[in-house]
Structure 1
């Protein structure tokens, strides 16, 4: 029986295992950094390693010995680098492509297996759930059609990984930009859009942009440390 691995620390990717299982293939999940080792992979001996969402570098020893496929939410070679969803929405993109690429030493520079269109509407969590469904389709195509990757074409552009200080919405002057910031950071593990006073910190989620150009949102208020 052929064995494949899914590597992801995100909850929304765990359902992939159940949906991909069948009588001809065995799918396993690794969701902890300490378990994603060359020694473990040698024991499992997967045919391919699929990485929907992983916040850490993949060791060269792994990708040099096992075919590793990552998924990046831009039309590569445009937008290599960190925080692709947030960087795209900040630049007012409303759609993108998910690129399935082979892992190489250079980040997001690997050969491409395939791309699929994707909407950027909704909260970050809704977008990631949407990505999960698209990634499932892409994995099936790669496995069932035994797709071979081809080199990226064109000049690359690069995104920088966003940091927590960039979630501050105090300097924004347009409500649609405020709405975009709140929704693009509204997912597990992401620093929420926030405002601060001298003593308080307010974090915003579940934003809704109304017809009168007002925003309704949930607000978590804490004392500043």
Structure 2
């Protein structure tokens, strides 16, 4: 166990796969550790804790009020080499731009989105499915948390050209017409994570959703779930309904 002076830490994430990292950190370091996954839990935690040392936002899609980020040291993790790639859907925007590697940036939350000073940067591979990449980023975030607790770094202002990404909508998950197998492979895998709108196409009254893409020698294979438009019924359920 660490010999650091005991402090209070909050881990904020709405992805359950970060829970393992939280439990590991809780075991490794003295102090009070809090896990929050909703805005209400976050507000409850900052009310209960007089002065948390850090609030780490591993994966957070909710608004954080000024009363939180202005009064506490809130650390965010963004999957680009900031200030390049500020904004939404960083993973998907990176893959669409042909990136195979990126940088995970830990920075302090300020009023402007993704504009705060930087604590640390670490290289991150963009291979695999979206969920595999997110989990890899979570492990890397945990390593950065360890170094921050040990070193207590002062963040430095971002430098370089600001490039802003646009947040993607669910409708933009429809696969493009005429794309090569390589492009389709990237398109499917960049959306292949629990809780995300998977790549899809339309065929008459059906919607086809794609996951588990594999590319071998120019041949693309993927798992497909077929549903009636506006329905969550799977292929097997549709077939069962159509039996005489």
CA RMSD of aligned residues (A): 1.1
CA distance in 2, matches of 1:192, 1:218: 11
Q: Which runs of 5+ in 2 are unaligned?
A: 1-5, 231-244
Instruction: Select which of 15, 20, 31 maps to 1:15.
Output: 20
Compared CA separation, residues 11 and 207, structure 1 to 2 (3 A): same
Q: 1:26, CA displacement in angstroms?
A: 2.5
Q: Is the 8 A contact 2:34 2:45 kept in 1?
A: no
CA distance in 2, matches of 1:88, 1:164: 17
- Runs (4+) off by over 4 Å: none
**1:86 equivalent in structure 2:** 92
Q: 1:12, CA displacement in angstroms?
A: 1.2
Q: 1:23, CA displacement in angstroms?
A: 5.2
CA distance in 2, matches of 1:75, 1:199: 42
Q: 1:156, CA displacement in angstroms?
A: 0.5
Q: Is the 8 A contact 1:90 1:181 kept in 2?
A: yes
**1:185 equivalent in structure 2:** 191
1:66 pairs with 2:96? no
1:3 pairs with 2:8? yes
Greater mean deviation of Cα atoms: 199-208 or 11-20: 11-20
SS of the residue aligned with 1:80?
A: strand
**2:59 equivalent in structure 1:** 53
Q: Is the 8 A contact 1:94 1:119 kept in 2?
A: yes
Normalised to the residue count of structure 2, the TM-score between the two structures is 0.89
Greater mean deviation of Cα atoms: 164-173 or 134-143: 164-173
The superposition leaves residues 14-65 of structure 1 with CA deviations (integer Å, 9 ceiling, x where unpaired) of 111111123523321001222121x530312311100010001211110011
Aligned pairs (5 A) from 1:1-225: 1-21=6-26, 22=28, 24-37=30-43, 40-45=45-50, 46-211=52-217, 213-225=218-230
Structure number with greater Rg is 2
Greater mean deviation of Cα atoms: 129-138 or 14-23: 14-23
CA distance in 2, matches of 1:57, 1:123: 27
Q: Which runs of 5+ in 1 are unaligned?
A: none
Normalised to the residue count of structure 1, the TM-score between the two structures is 0.96
